[in-house]
Amino acid sequence: MSEKIKIDPYGFREYDARWLYEKDISREGITNLGKGLGTQIKIHTQKENPRVIVGHDYRSYSEEIKSALKKGLISTGCHIEDLGLSLSPMVYFAQFNLNADAVAMVTASHNENGWTGVKMGIKKGLTHAPEEMKELKEITLNEKFSNGAGSEKQIENFQKVYKDDLINGNKINKKLKAVVACGNGTAGVFAPDILRGIGCEVIELDCNLDWTFPKYNPNPEDLEMLHAIAKAVKDNNADIGFGFDGDGDRVGVIDNEGNEIFSDKIGLLIARNLSTKHKNSKFVVDVKSTGLYSKDDVLLKNNCETIYWKTGHSHIKRKVNTEKALAGFEKSGHFFFNQPLGYGYDDGINSAIHVCHLLDNQNKMMIEIINELPNTYQTPTMAPFCKDEEKYQVVEELVKQVEEIKNNKTKIDDQIITEVLTVNGVRFSFNDGSWGLIRASSNKPSLVIVTESPTSDIRKKKIFEFIDDLLQKTGKVGEYDQKI
């Protein structure tokens, strides 16, 4: 690589690519990334001139990065169709609407300023999984590039096509008052218009675009953002509050009394609401999600099945696709709606629309609907330190131990383990619906621990103590980031 081409190999993540711009990747490095992606698209589509949809988020340097990326893509023979300012889900939608071969969205989502990145996909509705990212990294860093004569064109007014697609067929009858918070990120151009379009009275909070993010990063898991939404909901006597992340694929939800509702509970409410109309459906959730899905009487009555799967939006998206599930819900706020409700990818605004349908269908306030769910006692996500080079080995050992405890019918707080799930670490469940999870973190040197009990706070703690005891005996696990 020449002096000017700088690409930190660690920027190739499990599902997308992210770097601090100019510190970890140079403009020429971005062009090489475009060459690598263009080459990869040609290999997978077997086309000399594949059509690639490109968009960018509202950061001061995103357009500059997009033009460097396009330069690389065009040099391999790709025909670029540029949508301009976009949300990630708008780019995913355009691949279906314009029947293109691949997508590349320039965004660092909710990361702080200075970060940039690209979300990519070839098969419609799916983004790169770890194996595609590994292939892209090898092509790019070894400069094994294809050559060709590409082109580019601007697609005018596509924002309207995307907005209309979400508005049409989603009209609601009730006049819901919704706080719509965008943290000055790109969703500000889209979310208020779309929610107004389906019939909501919208109270805007930080929906004007400002790439300095003067208040906080647009991140629906950020407490500062959630507190601001809660205050606006109470001050305006609103029915619901929505907070969108920087590139619009996630949403956070606040009820009419200003309480944050965890995404796995929102997912369950949406699944219940959908199950009455779509009987015999499948839903996919990640292993960090509440155990209520598997025992839910509404879902069982409507003959719906819930599959617990690996954490990570790329994993859940693919599982929804292969299982032909109706929807998928990830605890971090990525929701996926398959046909006839969506195209299988995560769209935070579509998720908010489904929450509006839920309120439209029931003559109740959000807090009443939430209170109909059984109460559960759940720990936060806890991350005890474990070296990157040891964490997977440690988890493998623990899986064996838990399976042995199940086979020996050893009791934990007077309960025997009835089910062990090993798709992503180990999640073990008890007869009353209590469960514990041990898995390796996919992005840092730690394990991930969660426990939940619908029975009591004491049982939740007893399951945690059982896990902690197993961890301490390995001698390879350090301090927790937080602990109950």
Task: Say how far apart CA 245 and CA 206 lie, in whole Å.
Answer: 12
Which residue range is the domain that position 397 belongs to?
377-474
Nearest to 220 by CA among 212, 211, 229: 229
Is 483 among the domain residues? no
The token pair that represents 35 in the structure block? 């060459």
Is 104 among the domain residues? yes
| Amino acid of residue 400 | K
* Helix/strand/coil for 168: coil
- List the CATH number of the domain containing 41: 3.40.120.10
187's CB contacts (< 8 A; 6+ apart) are 87, 207, 218, 244, 245, 246, 247, 248, 348, 349
- As beta bridge partners, residue 180 has 204, 242
Report the relative pairing of strands 51-56 and 102-106 from DSSP bridges: parallel
* Helix/strand/coil for 314: helix
The token pair that represents 55 in the structure block? 């968009």
Is 482 among the domain residues? no
Is 4 among the domain residues? no
Q: 97's torsion region: left (phi>0), alpha (psi -120 to 50) or beta?
A: alpha
Task: Say how far apart CA 293 and CA 338 lie, in whole Å.
Answer: 19
Are the beta carbons of 95 and 168 closer than 8 angstroms? no
* In the block, residue with structure tokens 């675009």: 209
Shared domain for 115 and 85, answered yes or no, is yes
pTM of the complete model: 0.92
Give residue 6's pLDDT.
96
* Helix/strand/coil for 359: helix
Are the beta carbons of 309 and 289 closer than 8 angstroms? no
Residue pLDDT, tens place only, 158-186: 999 999 999 999 999 999 999 999 999 99
Give residue 112's pLDDT.
86
CA 371 from centroid of its chain's CA atoms: 25
Shared domain for 411 and 453, answered yes or no, is yes
Burial 160-181 (b: 16+ CB within 10 A, else e): eebbebbbeebebeeebbbbbb
Shared domain for 49 and 123, answered yes or no, is yes
Nearest to 448 by CA among 335, 310, 314, 320: 310
Is 137 among the domain residues? yes
Burial 410-431 (b: 16+ CB within 10 A, else e): eebbebebeeebbbbbbbbbbe
Give the relative orientation of helices 130-141 and 27-45 as an angle to the nearest 10 degrees: 120
Give the relative orientation of helices 457-474 and 388-407 as an angle to the nearest 10 degrees: 120
Fill in the DSSP letter of residue 435: E
| Amino acid of residue 154 | Q
Shared domain for 117 and 63, answered yes or no, is yes
Task: Say how far apart CA 272 and CA 293 lie, in whole Å.
Answer: 9
371's CB contacts (< 8 A; 6+ apart) are none
Are the beta carbons of 249 and 348 closer than 8 angstroms? yes
Task: Say how far apart CA 205 and CA 107 lie, in whole Å.
Answer: 22
**Could you say which of 236, 260, 284 is where a domain stops?**
260
Is 365 among the domain residues? yes
Shared domain for 220 and 325, answered yes or no, is no
Shared domain for 101 and 132, answered yes or no, is yes
- As beta bridge partners, residue 84 has 55
Is 481 among the domain residues? no
Q: Is 369 exposed, middle or buried (0-12, 13-18, 19+ CB in 10 A)?
A: buried
Which residues of the chain fall below pLDDT 70? 1
28: how many CB neighbours lie within 10 A of its CB?
18
Shared domain for 357 and 381, answered yes or no, is no
Shared domain for 149 and 14, answered yes or no, is yes
Q: Give the containing element (helix H, strand E) for 274.
A: helix 263-277
Is 211 among the domain residues? yes
Give residue 52's pLDDT.
98
Could you give the number of structural domains in the chain? 4
Shared domain for 168 and 224, answered yes or no, is yes
Are the beta carbons of 305 and 283 closer than 8 angstroms? yes
* In the block, residue with structure tokens 């997978």: 44
Phi–psi pair at 243, nearest 5 degrees: -125, 125
Give residue 1's pLDDT.
64
Shared domain for 133 and 48, answered yes or no, is yes
Are the beta carbons of 48 and 77 closer than 8 angstroms? yes
